[in-house]
Structure 1
Amino acid sequence: MAQATPDLTRAAIERLVRESIYKQLGKQVPAGNEAPNPLVVNVSARHCHLSPEAVEKLFGPGHQLTPMKWLYQEGQYAAQESVTLVGPRSRVISNLRILGPCRPLNQVELAFTDAIALGYDIPVRQSGDIEGTPGCMLMGPKGFLELDKGVIRAAPHVHMAPEDAAHYGVKQGDFMKMRVGGDLGVTFDRIFVRVSDSFKLEVHIDTDEGNACRLGPQSQVELVK
């Protein structure tokens, strides 16, 4: 595969690819209505977010998370550290990845099939909305942490910058639709909108949702108001 030259920006490369595809299809490139940034859809596997105090309790005094893989959103990463989750009836998930950096609250995000395997009945919630949710026990190499709440199934959501929100005509807290094409194509009706200057345009769905629509690199995806 040919390497892009350093003089071409990502946006320029994407524009050239779009023009090439439309040319092959014998169609005109739509004028004046191009999104300012490319849409990325990622499947978010089960993971947890922890406070600095929780990390120290699980991994020892003074311990800090070590980045293993940087994620699409600026400054976010999958840490080298993982924990064991103990759910109802002592059922466990080992190697539950921690995502960094640390947050003020502790939250575990599972897919529906994860919850079934553990014996949970977990609600679909926006990140940070953990009141009235089930708890669990987390075990690390230096200790354990009992949470009285914080286990959720994360609602599908989209991160976007203000320029993206302006393009789509939405604001923080709105809902959008996401159409996924293909043999198992589906439409998600409630994609929650999050807007911040620090965000890049990215939709997060969980593993169950990604598998249900057979999301892959070749999937055609459209975000609509």
Structure 2
Amino acid sequence: MSQSPLNRAQVEQLVRQSLSRFVGQGSSQQKQGPNPLVVNISARHCHLSQESVEVLFGKGHKLTPMKDLYMDGQYAAQESVTMIGPRSRVISNLRILGPCRDFDQVELAYTDAVSLGFKIPIRNSGDIAGTPGCMLMGPAGFLEMKEGVIRAAPHVHMAPEDAEYYGVENKSFMKLRVGGELGVTFDRIFVRVDPSFKLEVHIDTDEGNACGFTQDTPCELIK
């Protein structure tokens, strides 16, 4: 017995079912990166040399780890300092991150700089030539920094296998698409590649607040 022809509604239903199966297969087979992407907000902090630590906390003083950070070997120290900016405005309890480096650097958000009363450039970590300085105060003394106060550029740390997966090189740029209610895309995420790195994006507190970022916000790196 011959079957009666399908009406328009039945045809559309069959097409939708077919497309649904196709899309489902595609998403289940989507290639995943070698390492999970982590996005963290980096609050204001400073990096110090061992010599500067001793100026602020006393001869022979060593930083005391308080909390491990996501990146292996990095930690927030128990020690903090007071930062004195222009016109004697201060930020108290500026956390020191360890281990010690071979240079001194303070990383602030834009609103931190406004509250201190001066303008700071956006720079990559370590690129401090020509940047403003400040005074740091610790329990044992004062440290005058001639330069080194920056607003850290948004950046991503990644291992070589991550760089290969995303098709990027050290010191190149990527985009970070942040989901959620606002849906913001950062267009210039600086890429730092090293075998010791985990896949981690750093944005500052102003940037995190502006895009409504939380630990549940979906994020995606884009070349």
TM-score, scaled relative to structure 2: 0.88
Distance 1:83 1:157 in 2: 25
Distance 1:44 1:95 in 2: 15
3-state secondary structure, aligned to 2:91: strand
Give the match for residue 78 of structure 1.
76
Distance 1:30 1:108 in 2: 45
| 1:207 maps onto 2:191 in alignment | no
Give the match for residue 104 of structure 1.
102
Give the match for residue 93 of structure 2.
95
1:182 deviation in Å?
1.4
Structure 1 moving runs of 4+ over 3 Å: 25-30
Give the match for residue 122 of structure 1.
120
Q: Percent identity?
A: 73
- Within 5 Å, give how 1:1-225 maps onto structure 2: 28-31=26-29, 33-225=31-223
The total of aligned residue pairs comes to: 202
Distance 2:77 2:42 in 1: 14
TM-score, scaled relative to structure 1: 0.87
The one-letter code matched in structure 1 to 2:204 is D
The one-letter code matched in structure 1 to 2:81 is V
3-state secondary structure, aligned to 2:195: coil
Task: Quote the RMSD (CA, aligned, Å).
Answer: 1.4
Structure 1: gaps spanning 5 or more residues: 1-24
3-state secondary structure, aligned to 2:131: coil
Distance 2:140 2:171 in 1: 39
The one-letter code matched in structure 2 to 1:42 is N
3-state secondary structure, aligned to 2:186: strand
3-state secondary structure, aligned to 2:80: strand
Structure 2: gaps spanning 5 or more residues: 1-22
1:29 deviation in Å?
3.8
Give the match for residue 3 of structure 1.
none
Deviations 1:151-191 (A, max 9, x none): 00000000000000000000101100000011122100000
3-state secondary structure, aligned to 1:121: coil
3-state secondary structure, aligned to 1:115: helix
Distance 2:25 2:135 in 1: 56
3-state secondary structure, aligned to 1:62: coil
3-state secondary structure, aligned to 2:31: coil
